Chain A
Amino acid sequence: MSALIAAEAAIFTIFVVAYLFYVGKSLSGPTPREVLSPPFFYTFCLLSSSLTIHFASRSLRRWNVRRFGAWWLLTITLGAIFLYGTASEWHRLIYRDGLTISTNLFGTTYYSLVGLHGFHVVVGLVCLSTVMVFTLFGAVKQEHAEQIDVLSLYWHFVDAVWIVVFTVVYVIGR
């Protein structure tokens, strides 16, 4: 998993570099300053989900499968709220501000970087939900703690990438 994360990190690096390279190079509007506002609430949700998944795997290691399920469900909910946040932001940008991937360079880099991250959130949610289903059927036991840790490593990575994306898109890029 660490090796896979290294590969993923390299992919994100290239997209981040492209974003930074093209900051302020758009030939037409809208510009990031006009349309973007930092999504503090959704960021808070995603980052706190790292904490909840940590509690989840800790409960599992202490034989408490029910508490594990509860923390796990909370993690999924927080991830889903974040995804809703991204979706509503995109909806607003497309229908109110008329910014699409082909409008200008900002649109191109913004949608591809945030979209790439969103895609990873979706993949993460699918994996988390699969585990949730197994938990509900009682198939997850303490001996699976190691696999759960590997999965939560991926989720931590997705969260960490968001910190970078947030910094690049909403702080530096604006």
Chain B
Amino acid sequence: MSTESIAWPTTTAASPSFVDHLHKWVTTVDHKRLGILYIVYALIFLVIGGVEATVMRIQLIRPHNNFVSPQVFNRMFTMHGTTMIFFVAMPILFGFANYLIPLMIGARDMAFPRLNAFGFWMTAFGGLLLYFSLIGANGLYGAGNAPDVGWFAYAPLTSQTFSVGHSTDFWTLALLVSGFGSISTAVNIVATVLCMRCPGMTLAKMPLFAWLNLVMAGLVILAVSPLTAAQIMLLLDRYLGAHFFDTQAGGSAVIWMHFFWIFGHPEVYVLVLPAFAFASEIIPVFSRKAIFGYPVMVGATVAIGFISMSVWAHHMFTVGMGANANTFFVLSTMAIAVPTGIKIFNWLATMWGGKIEFKTPMLFCIAFLFQFLIAGLTGVMMSAAPFDWQLGNSYFVVAHFHYVIVGGILFTLFAAFYYWFPKMSGKMYSEILGKLHFWLFLIGFHLTFDFMHVPGLLGMPRRIYTYEPGRGWDSWNLIVTIGVFFQAAGILVFLGNLLWSYYRGKDAGSDPWDAWTLEWSTNSPPPAYNFASIPVIKSRRPLWDLKHPDDPDWKYE
């Protein structure tokens, strides 16, 4: 018997008053509570960002539409992008990492619980700061409220001349503040994974989830810091009259692009590595097979981490960097498709010959595999600089990165929600509502983002608030917008499912999926101390060893 797992009965205290309850959540340093705070916070912002996207799509449903003014449209796409990246995707992924990593590596908490709370509240206040701009940014100028410079805020749009009032300041400060939060959480994740593993868990026996999040945290440290530096420079420019991005005084607008994308591209991998992490945990469990090629998966992850630091300027082919720089970034961008492709083949090989159970989490993961493949293919198309010169800044690009972020990341996130909901709440979700959510969202996703490629190929630029009829864009835009409503319906079903299951769901038990990693060895929801006695493991699938003492994994690894 190599693994110990003692499940203590949970004690339920007399229901505390609302204030007590609130006080406990606000002052908590427990990684599970902070994880849930991150997730709930991000879900709220997901709805807000989704509404902003819907507003944009309604405006574009037909030519010469007057649903919102051009100014409001600019604010919508800026807020949508900023919200979705910084206040939905990152917090939600940090939330899962926070919740699951200590459980998966057999620890009682993160390495620095208070730093963890600090990170969450910095992120939370960053988000509030961004949305406070709706009230606060008017300033003395009566000039616009929410930020309207686009989510990558190219100079000179952000200079005092072109952005009067305080909207850009709110954008900068929100990102600066949440950036500090992200960095501290990343530091915490690195320290936790490296120092808090339970006895027997060598790096090579760690769940892939922990590996991928370790690399993700390393990327956050190296990628968010340049963003922080660039935001400090922007603030100096705006408040102290410095000239970093001021071309009038010899400064450079292009260097902002470089600094932003040095953050911006690794950021994509910051978001997608946790998505890979979900898939790497969920696909084996529902295929009833161990993950295929564990060492190669780890190697590919680290390779992605390294290469992703050297591909940023493929966002800047249209700037005119010169043939040498273009060639380098074309090649590095194509190179990153190799480790990513290895991962896709490994997941497929995991499924191959497995006894696949088509539960909701698995459905989302299968859809992820297809969609992420297509997203990768359009990515390789656009990594060719001449192709990018034609399609840069068009709806083709928008369709491509939404295929990555929605088709790849959001789909695995939904899978993760359904997979770990029983652990986090102790209740089972409704499989019927889950499948309804899956099909609605799948249809909506493909209506929207498949057809969005076409107007891009036909030359429709992004960020336009309306367009002329008769360019061949009309019906495509109509279909795209119709898809949005399917997605919105799917999200509503999803939220309804979460709430309904939380209050009315059946008890899930500690291990509803017959899974193999340590989080399923403790109660659902886990007690504050996670494990009554720290587990000792011998293989990558400790629970398999426990359930099959006659045929344990450690004999073969």
Binding site for B on A (CB under 8 A): 3-4, 6-8, 10-11, 13-15, 18, 21-22, 25-27, 101-102, 104-105, 107-109, 111-112, 116
Stretch at the interface among B84-92, B139-147, B222-230: B222-230
Q: Does B233 contact A (CB under 8 A)?
A: yes
| Interfacial chain A residues near B190, Cβ < 8 Å | 3
Set A3, A6, A7, A102: member contacting B240, Cβ < 8 A: A102
Lowest 4 CB-CB distances: which A-B pairs, in order?
Answer: A102-B241, A10-B225, A14-B229, A108-B242
Q: Does B443 contact A (CB under 8 A)?
A: no
Tell me the residues in window 210-260 of chain B with beta carbons closer than 8 Å to chain A beta carbons: 217-218, 221-226, 228-230, 232-233, 236, 240-244, 249-252, 255, 259
A18–B250 alpha-carbon span in the complex (Å)? 13
A53–B485 alpha-carbon span in the complex (Å)? 63
Say whether, besides A3-B221, A11-B228, A102-B241, A27 and B250 are in contact (CB < 8 Å).
yes
B241 touches A14 (CB 8 A): no
Interface string of B373-399 (1 = CB under 8 A from A): 000000000000000000000000000
Q: Can you sample 7 A-B contacts with CB below 8 Å?
A: A7-B187, A11-B229, A18-B233, A22-B250, A22-B252, A108-B251, A116-B232
Q: A7-B186, A14-B262, A101-B236 are known; give 12 further A-B pairs, CB within 8 A.
A: A7-B187, A10-B221, A11-B226, A14-B229, A14-B259, A27-B249, A101-B242, A105-B251, A108-B251, A112-B232, A112-B236, A112-B244
Name the residue of chain A whose CB is nearest to the CB of B228: A11
| Interfacial chain A residues near B217, Cβ < 8 Å | 3
Name the residue of chain A whose CB is nearest to the CB of B236: A112
A55–B56 alpha-carbon span in the complex (Å)? 63
| Closest Cβ–Cβ distance, residue A111 to chain B (whole Å) | 8
Tell me the residues in window 180-194 of chain B with beta carbons closer than 8 Å to chain A beta carbons: 183, 186-187, 190-191
| Closest Cβ–Cβ distance, residue A118 to chain B (whole Å) | 14
A13–B226 alpha-carbon span in the complex (Å)? 8
Name the residue of chain A whose CB is nearest to the CB of B188: A3
Name the residue of chain A whose CB is nearest to the CB of B241: A102
Binding site for A on B (CB under 8 A): 183, 186-187, 190-191, 217-218, 221-226, 228-230, 232-233, 236, 240-244, 249-252, 255, 259, 262
A18 touches B244 (CB 8 A): yes
| Interfacial chain B residues near A21, Cβ < 8 Å | 252, 255
| Interfacial chain A residues near B191, Cβ < 8 Å | 3
| Interfacial chain B residues near A25, Cβ < 8 Å | 250
Name the residue of chain A whose CB is nearest to the CB of B180: A7
| Interfacial chain A residues near B225, Cβ < 8 Å | 7-8, 10-11, 14
B232 touches A105 (CB 8 A): no
The main secondary structure of chain B at its interface with chain A is helix
| Interfacial chain A residues near B226, Cβ < 8 Å | 10-11, 13-14
Say whether, besides A3-B186, A14-B225, A102 and B244 are in contact (CB < 8 Å).
no
Set A3, A11, A105, A112: member contacting B249, Cβ < 8 A: A105
A156–B191 alpha-carbon span in the complex (Å)? 20
* Most chain A CB inside 10 Å of its own CB: which residue of B186, B224, B242, B262: B242
Set B183, B243, B259: member contacting A108, Cβ < 8 A: B243
B243 touches A102 (CB 8 A): yes
| Interfacial chain A residues near B229, Cβ < 8 Å | 10-11, 14-15
| Interfacial chain A residues near B259, Cβ < 8 Å | 14, 18
B222 touches A108 (CB 8 A): no
| Interfacial chain A residues near B224, Cβ < 8 Å | 7
| Closest Cβ–Cβ distance, residue B155 to chain A (whole Å) | 13
| Interfacial chain A residues near B183, Cβ < 8 Å | 4, 7
| Closest Cβ–Cβ distance, residue B227 to chain A (whole Å) | 9
A18–B251 alpha-carbon span in the complex (Å)? 10
A15–B232 alpha-carbon span in the complex (Å)? 10
| Interfacial chain B residues near A116, Cβ < 8 Å | 232
B222 touches A10 (CB 8 A): yes
| Interfacial chain B residues near A4, Cβ < 8 Å | 183, 187
* Most chain B CB inside 10 Å of its own CB: which residue of A3, A13, A15, A116: A3
| Closest Cβ–Cβ distance, residue A106 to chain B (whole Å) | 10
A15–B229 alpha-carbon span in the complex (Å)? 7
| Interfacial chain A residues near B228, Cβ < 8 Å | 11
B241 touches A101 (CB 8 A): yes
A7 touches B251 (CB 8 A): no
| Interfacial chain A residues near B255, Cβ < 8 Å | 18, 21
| Interfacial chain B residues near A18, Cβ < 8 Å | 233, 244, 255, 259
A108–B241 alpha-carbon span in the complex (Å)? 8
B236 touches A22 (CB 8 A): no
A111–B224 alpha-carbon span in the complex (Å)? 23
| Closest Cβ–Cβ distance, residue A113 to chain B (whole Å) | 10
Set A11, A13, A26, A101: member contacting B250, Cβ < 8 A: A26
| Interfacial chain B residues near A105, Cβ < 8 Å | 243, 249-251
A18–B256 alpha-carbon span in the complex (Å)? 10
Name the residue of chain B whose CB is nearest to the CB of A112: B236
B249 touches A104 (CB 8 A): yes
A111–B240 alpha-carbon span in the complex (Å)? 11
Say whether, besides A4-B187, A14-B259, A18-B233, A102 and B250 are in contact (CB < 8 Å).
no
A111–B233 alpha-carbon span in the complex (Å)? 11
| Interfacial chain A residues near B250, Cβ < 8 Å | 22, 25-27, 104-105
| Closest Cβ–Cβ distance, residue A18 to chain B (whole Å) | 6
Say whether, besides A4-B187, A7-B183, A22-B251, A108 and B221 are in contact (CB < 8 Å).
no
| Interfacial chain B residues near A27, Cβ < 8 Å | 249-250
Name the residue of chain A whose CB is nearest to the CB of B182: A7
A51–B230 alpha-carbon span in the complex (Å)? 33
| Closest Cβ–Cβ distance, residue B543 to chain A (whole Å) | 30
| Closest Cβ–Cβ distance, residue B187 to chain A (whole Å) | 4
